[in-house]
């Protein structure tokens, strides 16, 4: 695909700014929900092969809780909100007051529902900020929640891309609770994986053709 | 993901984090060689890029694996197969025609095997769970590990 070969630093900078605006809005939403201060890391934008993509989600076999949604509209793509196992359990506890083990067969329905709703709110906040910033229409599908191996989960977001090539451009943003004791801090990771045909439109809208 | 390899006993073949992808093992009972492919998409006619990575698709990957095994002394008529994966990790009704890709991958792999007269001795496919698989060439056992449903051997 030509877009992969024509990517310049200026393009990556533009995607980084877009990710920052999206995740910033999501962090505000999470902060209001938890009544806690949430810190946002500067997004990293990388061109990765599929193996590397699994690695940045925590490793092929690492158990994660992931909300996944498809974005339709002018700039289609896939989006993930990923929590490592302990983080998902901590968040489920904060939201429902129940201690849960998310890989237990009988995942508490209330906890699952809270995590699903969280994914819904955060992904919606991310995308609406991104759509405003780019002026492009982006409609999220209803998120689907899965608790499983990171490799198995991430591959679902690579299918559209894999038809056209062997690399993905990922906008990876980490946000974490601003806690004194960093070991208790909740942090989550957003991945936005635009479909190949979305890049031209995103770059054009950001003035970096 | 989207690759294949061969190995000789006592080595084991392993691939991890299979979701909608399908892991296929091809072996000949009594021989110490086997191959494992980690297939991502059902058919190379789906490819829209200029360069085609053959290991990604069921048809082209298996064609290459079979050619390699033949070269290494396997008899195609005596080959057997085991497969796992092909799950549907997320359920979607909108925004992607990729939601049934797991079952389609399994079907495509089985169709290619059938064309080549290779029997499927065992399979653990479908569902909505990730799988990590490991094949012991010595006794033709395929070990399958999942997060929620523990381990099985087929």
Please state the domain extents for chain B.
3-153
Inspect the interface and report whether the beta carbons of B40 and A61 lie closer than 8 Å: no
For domain B3-153, which architecture applies? 2-Layer Sandwich (3.30)
Mean pLDDT of A43-51: 85
Report yes or no: B104 and B119 within 8 Å, Cβ to Cβ: no
Give the confidence band of A142 by pLDDT, cuts at 50, 70, 90.
confident
10-residue stretch averages of pLDDT, chain B, 154 residues long: 90 93 94 94 82 87 95 91 94 64 94 96 94 95 91 94
- Chain B residues whose CB is inside 8 A of the A155 CB are 1, 17, 19-21, 40, 89
- Give dist(CA B154, CA B20) in Å, integer: 19
- Give dist(CA B83, CA B85) in Å, integer: 7
State residue B19's pLDDT score.
Answer: 93
Tokens of A22: 């999206």
Mean pLDDT of A124-132: 87
- Whether the per-residue pLDDT at A109 is higher than 60: the answer is yes
- Chain B residues whose CB is inside 8 A of the A141 CB are 92, 94-96
Report yes or no: A127 and A19 within 8 Å, Cβ to Cβ: no
State residue A183's pLDDT score.
Answer: 56
Residue B21: its H or E element: none
Give the confidence band of A22 by pLDDT, cuts at 50, 70, 90.
confident
State residue A121's pLDDT score.
Answer: 85
In terms of Cα–Cα distance, which of B37, B52, B150, B27 is closest to B85?
B37
Inspect the interface and report whether the beta carbons of A155 and B53 lie closer than 8 Å: no
- Whether the per-residue pLDDT at A204 is higher than 60: the answer is yes
Mean residue pLDDT of chain A comes to 82
State residue A85's pLDDT score.
Answer: 83
State residue A8's pLDDT score.
Answer: 82
Mean pLDDT of A93-114: 77
Q: Is B142 on the interface with A (CB under 8 A)?
A: no
Inspect the interface and report whether the beta carbons of B89 and A153 lie closer than 8 Å: yes
State residue B117's pLDDT score.
Answer: 95
- Give dist(CA B129, CA B85) in Å, integer: 8
Q: Is B56 on the interface with A (CB under 8 A)?
A: yes
Domain annotation for chain A: domains and CATH numbers: 2-205 (3.40.1550.10)
CA-CA-CA-CA torsion for B35, B36, B41, B45, nearest 10 degrees?
A: -10
Inspect the interface and report whether the beta carbons of A155 and B20 lie closer than 8 Å: yes
> What's the ipTM?
0.85
- Tell me how crowded residue B47 is: count the other CB atoms within 10 A of its CB: 19
Mean pLDDT of A151-155: 90
């Amino acid at each position: 695909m030509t877009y992969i070969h024509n990517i310049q630093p200026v393009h990556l900078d533009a995607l980084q700014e877009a990710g920052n605006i999206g995740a910033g809005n999501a962090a505000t939403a999470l902060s209001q929900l938890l009544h806690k201060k949430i810190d946002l890391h500067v997004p990293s934008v990388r061109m990765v092969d599929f193996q590397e993509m699994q690695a940045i989600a925590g490793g092929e076999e690492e158990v994660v809780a992931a909300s996944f949604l498809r974005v339709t509209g002018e700039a289609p793509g896939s989006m993930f909100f990923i929590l490592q196992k302990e983080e998902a359990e901590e968040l489920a506890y904060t939201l429902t007051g129940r201690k849960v083990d998310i890989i237990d067969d009988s995942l508490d329905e209330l906890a699952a529902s809270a995590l699903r709703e969280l994914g819904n709110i955060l992904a919606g906040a991310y995308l609406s900020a991104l759509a405003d910033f780019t002026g492009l229409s982006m409609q999220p599908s209803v998120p689907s929640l899965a608790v499983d191996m990171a490799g198995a989960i991430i591959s679902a977001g690579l299918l559209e891309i894999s038809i056209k090539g062997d690399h993905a451009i990922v906008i990876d943003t980490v946000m974490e609770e601003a806690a004194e004791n960093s070991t208790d801090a909740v942090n989550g990771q957003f991945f936005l994986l635009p479909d190949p045909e979305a890049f031209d439109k995103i770059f054009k809208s950001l003035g970096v053709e | 993901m989207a690759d294949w390899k061969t190995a000789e006993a006592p080595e084991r073949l392993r691939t991890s984090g299979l979701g909608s992808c399908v892991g296929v093992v091809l072996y000949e009972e009594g021989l110490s060689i086997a191959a494992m492919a980690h297939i991502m998409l059902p058919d190379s006619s789906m490819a829209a890029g200029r360069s085609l990575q053959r290991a990604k698709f069921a048809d082209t990957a298996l064609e290459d694996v079979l050619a390699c095994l033949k070269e290494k002394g396997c008899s195609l008529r005596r080959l057997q197969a085991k497969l796992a994966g092909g799950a549907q990790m997320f359920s979607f009704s909108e925004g992607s025609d990729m939601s049934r890709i797991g079952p389609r991958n399994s079907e495509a792999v089985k169709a290619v095997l059938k064309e080549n007269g290779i029997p499927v001795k065992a399979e653990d496919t479908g569902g909505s769970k990730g799988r990590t698989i490991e094949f012991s060439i010595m006794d033709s056992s395929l070990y399958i590990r999942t997060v929620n449903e523990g381990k099985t051997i087929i």
